[in-house]
Structure 1
Amino acid sequence: MLMRSVRQRKLAGLWLLGFGGAAASGCDGAGAYDCAEAVTCEIWNDDGTSNGYCWGQCVHAPPESFGAPKLVWTGPEVLAPASCAELVRVVPGTGERIPFGGATRTLFARAMPEATHGCPACACTAPSCALPRTVTARSVEACGDGSAGTQTSFLLQAGWDGSCVSPGTVAPEQLGSLSIGPAILEPCTPIVADEPPQPLSGGVGEVAVGCTGPVEGKLCPDDAELCMLEQQPAHLPDGWRHCIVGEGDLGCQKPEGGADPQKIFSDRLGVFYEDLVTAPACSPCTCKAPEASRCEALVVAWEDGACSDILVGVDVTERGICLIPEPISSLGSVSATWLSNEPGTCTPTGGNPSNDRVVGVAKTVCCLPKPLEAP
């Protein structure tokens, strides 16, 4: 009877993490247990195990490459806890639920599957040859923008098909030289031929949510262990585990010597990302210049406005031409026909993923093994 009475007093004053239950208290049974207070008896959990003076979960100290132990939930993004409020302490006797005080929430996202990291398929519009768009007359027998004398310029309409046009009239005294602009190779324009597939979930799928609670030393039977206060595994909501998080792609602890494997963070959940940017870094779509292209036209200048009294006819390539007409000539109209209309084809480039397809800080999550099931 005496032993039963002592055990009951041990279980009377403890606050528990989770949704209910009783676990342990100080030996005198007076009020809440103070983990900083030295006691002369062990603290018993409701499953019959003892963590010494630790009112919570004893764990092996993590490697230097990992942070302090924390509680971590993993699962689909749509079900992720929005806060740490799901973690609560329950006051025995009254049933009062108190939020897990001092906890900070961190979200880590699993990278999207490789298939959802696709880049767009690039293509190019077809190049084309265009007839010259400028005709410039100067009053001196010289070409070039720096030439002296007066200048009369005509802009031919974009898309001109070479039919007779009369942009104006240049009298003989104003026609010392005549410049005809080049035949134009219209470049290709990059376009997206096929968008990459999008993830069906509209998000990154699995995530990890970390909540950091109080962790103390020198409260466990082994000085190399840490006490995760108020964080008994038997009272955690579904999905939560005791874990550590380290920056980078790391390995997890392995039980060595006589260490208790149930207190070692050996279960590697994998790599998650903090501040994850799920859109892949893709090179932009571009087009190489067409090869083996040739745009050449016969441009005819006429003295009258109806393309009936020829002044001069010249072959114009992509370099343009300048000529000196016969003296006492006038300019009244222009026409053109294609000699070679072969714009070629363009090769699309780009749409390739860069090496850093996932942008974010890689975090490795290692957890305590799941509790062994009773036989």
Structure 2
Amino acid sequence: MRQRRLAGHWLLGCGAVAAASGCGGAGAYDCAEAVACEIWNDDGTSNGHCWGQCVHAPPDSFGAPMLVWTGPEALAPASCAELVRVVPGTGERIPLGGATRTLVARAMPEPAHGCPACACTAPACALPQTVTAMSIEACGDGSAGTQTSFLPPAGWDGSCVSPGAVGPEQLGSLSIGPAIWEPCTPIVAEEPPQPLSGGAGEVAVGCTGVVEGKLCPGDAELCMLEQQPAHLPDGWRHCIVGEGELGCQQPEGGADPRTIFSDKLGVFYKDLATAPACSPCTCKAPATSRCEALVVAWEDGACSDMLVGIDVNEREGICVDPVSGSTLSSVSATWLSNEPGTCTPTGGEPRNDRVVGVAKTVCCLPKALEAP
């Protein structure tokens, strides 16, 4: 059998040879015929002049074609040693020339941790916290005048209190603040369990080989030399890898789908580090609530000589002008409506873990169509 070298690689001639006299010499075929002869794999199939796998050139966002293994991390190959080429005719298996492991990346694990149970404190209605005497009418209305605070104690329950005494010269008007709707706040009902240990997720291992151009028939631009699909161990595919979360190629213009890296295996991460993440605990305010109180101001210190009674709600306070010459010595309050509602806890749901790492998108030849 005559041999002819093309683009730096040997092509095996076909047909009978009358005399081994070199290219252009006497023989059963000439040099053009030799170049046109295809290489035959040991399984009887032909890849044209590419002794391996013909593929389309990847997009600019991807690197050169490579062989990629995916599967559980515990079974991941430690090197490219299991990749071999089979010598046509003899079936001899020898290491794949130039294969180098250049990728180890991990798939994003599913959240494998618990999250805290969320709850809410109860909302509440609180009585007004400000009572102020003004020396002029209409609470000042922007005019100058003296102000005398007449503050109930903190946590006032409405019982009669006498914070002081305000004489007629200081009591032109009386301002009473609104009732208070005190919102609920989120609480963590229980601590989350510790995250489960890693090591059981999917990984991608990539081995680069020799890729040549101008060796494939038709519109396939690249030849992955010696990388025949029929001889790949389980788990290995012909793939390309791009940095970031990317889409894969799709056949266009009648291109052979067997040469297009259209099968997206997923996004894997180099130097992956994760931290458990849960949605924060929050509280949704009630759809309806009502806080309304009757506040009564008294001229004496024992809440027996009424000066004025005022209804206030949680939206706004009110200003009144008492009878001229009155005094203020005590105050009391009763609830007309104490219905703060009920808050709904939200959050405490697992999220995708926070990620530190470099995303790698792996796209491969379609498994069902991968050329033999």
Q: TM-score, normalised by structure 1?
A: 0.59
Q: CA deviation at 1:301?
A: 1.9
Residue 328 in 1 paired to residue 325 in 2?
Answer: yes
Contact 2:98-2:208 at 8 Å conserved across structures: no
Quick one: which of 296, 310, 321 aligns to 1:314? 310
1:282-301 to 2 correspondences below 5 Å: 287-291=284-288, 293-301=289-297
Quick one: which of 209, 213, 217 aligns to 1:217? 213
Indicate how the Cα distance of structure 1 residues 38 and 321 shifts in structure 2: closer, same or farther if over 3 A, else same: closer
1:169 partner letter: A
Q: CA deviation at 1:178?
A: 0.6
Match of 1:87 in 2: 80
2:8 partner letter: E
Which structure 2 residue ranges, 5 or more long, are not aligned? Answer: 14-38, 85-93, 352-358
Indicate how the Cα distance of structure 1 residues 265 and 223 shifts in structure 2: closer, same or farther if over 3 A, else same: closer
Residue 146 in 1 paired to residue 155 in 2?
Answer: no
Match of 2:164 in 1: 168
What do the CA deviations read for 1:258-299 (whole angstroms, capped 9, x no partner)?
x8x9x756995x5513569999997995625532x3322121
Indicate how the Cα distance of structure 1 residues 350 and 200 shifts in structure 2: closer, same or farther if over 3 A, else same: closer
1:183-262 to 2 correspondences below 5 Å: 183-189=179-185, 205-219=201-215, 224=220, 226-229=222-225, 231=227, 239-244=235-240, 247-248=246-247
2:214 partner letter: K
SS at match of 1:142: helix
2:267 partner letter: Y
Q: TM-score, normalised by structure 2?
A: 0.60
Match of 1:109 in 2: 107
Contact 1:62-1:244 at 8 Å conserved across structures: no
Match of 2:365 in 1: 366
Number of residue pairs matched?
A: 322
Q: Distance in 2 between matches of 1:105 and 1:202?
A: 19
What do the CA deviations read for 1:315-364 (whole angstroms, capped 9, x no partner)?
2233322111233333233221112212334567889999xxxxx89765
Q: Distance in 2 between matches of 1:273 and 1:40?
A: 38
Contact 1:73-1:240 at 8 Å conserved across structures: yes
SS at match of 1:297: strand
Residue 73 in 1 paired to residue 69 in 2?
Answer: yes
Q: CA deviation at 1:177?
A: 0.9
Q: CA deviation at 1:75?
A: 1.2
- Of 271-280 and 212-221, more deviation after overlay is shown by 271-280
Indicate how the Cα distance of structure 1 residues 96 and 231 shifts in structure 2: closer, same or farther if over 3 A, else same: closer
SS at match of 1:161: coil
Q: Distance in 2 between matches of 1:278 and 1:54?
A: 47
Contact 1:118-1:280 at 8 Å conserved across structures: no
Contact 1:245-1:366 at 8 Å conserved across structures: no
CA RMSD of superposed structures (Å): 5.7
Quick one: which of 266, 281, 302 aligns to 1:272? 266
Indicate how the Cα distance of structure 1 residues 145 and 70 shifts in structure 2: closer, same or farther if over 3 A, else same: farther
Q: CA deviation at 1:230?
A: 5.8
1:152 partner letter: T
Residue 59 in 1 paired to residue 30 in 2?
Answer: no
Indicate how the Cα distance of structure 1 residues 105 and 126 shifts in structure 2: closer, same or farther if over 3 A, else same: same
Q: Distance in 2 between matches of 1:144 and 1:98?
A: 94
Indicate how the Cα distance of structure 1 residues 229 and 299 shifts in structure 2: closer, same or farther if over 3 A, else same: same
Which structure 1 residue ranges, 5 or more long, are not aligned? Answer: 7-26, 29-33, 355-359
